[in-house]
Amino acid sequence: MCTLIGGTLMGTAAAGALFFSTAKVNKAKYPVFGVDVSNYQGDINWQELESQNVSFAFIKATEGSGHTDESVRRNLDRAAFTGIKVSAYHFFSFDSAGDTQADNFISSVSPDEIDLPPVIDIEYYADKRSNKPSKEETEKILCPLISRLEEHYGTKPIIYTTLPVYLRYIKGSFSDCPLWIRSVNCEPDLIDWKFWQYSDKGTLTGYDGEEEHIDLNVYNGSVEDFEKEFPKPNNKKALS
């Protein structure tokens, strides 16, 4: 009995340590570094971000069927004057139709403004963690959204998500979409991911918003892999 109790306590302690630990990133293995931003980072100096080895950035554009991020236009315009490869992301709503969500994003982001595929950010919000939508309900919204974005931008959208949401809604059904996974406690080495958000407590210089932190990410591959998969666009604006 003591052995059983001791083993249980050790297992609980190990799980607790993992939960409160911070993911460690092997920079030699994942040398391509990036960020994701929204209006919470305020006024961003994109040249300064670039000077800190930021190679890519995901910029919040829209949410649901009616919300547009206040900074999306400024961020897309200013990032275009750098060598940072950008995409824009849409925060998925479980509460509105996929077609109207697609309309919202498409009206906010032109295909020639992004260098990486568009992103759908699907995660629990409000009461959805305790009152989880069914897989069928979610697919009814997500399928037309993915289809519309793929048709408009000419590529499968990236799906950003957490592990619980991935396991419930994405795995199997939408595995053909590149995966951007959030895992701030450990490396997600048991799933096939394209981008990994490893920290939501990063600090860089070059932004001045109400949020002091910035999310940090890496690409799953070498610099050469990244350049081959996402070639340097020829439509970047010249520095003035």
| Residue-level pLDDT at 237 | 56
CA distance 207 to 158: 25
CA distance 136 to 169: 9
9 band by pLDDT with thresholds 50, 70 and 90:
very low
Which tokens hold the place of 69?
A: 């991020």
Distance of CA 175 to the CA centre of its chain: 16
16 band by pLDDT with thresholds 50, 70 and 90:
very low
Per 3-state DSSP, what percentage of the chain is helix, strand, and coil (rounded to 5)? 35, 20, 45
22 band by pLDDT with thresholds 50, 70 and 90:
confident
Nearest CA-CA partner of 47 in 83, 87, 71:
83
Asked which of 20-24, 39-43, 130-134, 219-223 is least confident by mean pLDDT, the reply is 20-24
236 band by pLDDT with thresholds 50, 70 and 90:
low
138 band by pLDDT with thresholds 50, 70 and 90:
very high
CA distance 218 to 220: 7
| Residue-level pLDDT at 18 | 41
Asked which of 47-51, 221-225, 229-233 is least confident by mean pLDDT, the reply is 229-233
Residue 19 pLDDT greater than 60, yes or no: no
Threshold 0.75, pTM exceeds: yes
CA distance 127 to 94: 11
Average pLDDT over residues 97-108: 98
How confident is the model over 154-208, as pLDDT tens digits? Answer: 999 999 999 999 999 999 999 999 999 999 999 999 999 999 999 999 999 999 9
> What is the percent of the chain with per-residue pLDDT over 70, rounded to a whole number?
88
| Residue-level pLDDT at 233 | 62
Nearest CA-CA partner of 227 in 27, 53, 56:
56
Which runs of consecutive H residues, i.e. helices, occur in the chain? Answer: 2-20, 46-50, 72-79, 98-108, 135-153, 163-165, 223-229
Average pLDDT over residues 109-123: 97
What count of other Cβ atoms lies within 10 Å of the Cβ of residue 119?
Answer: 28
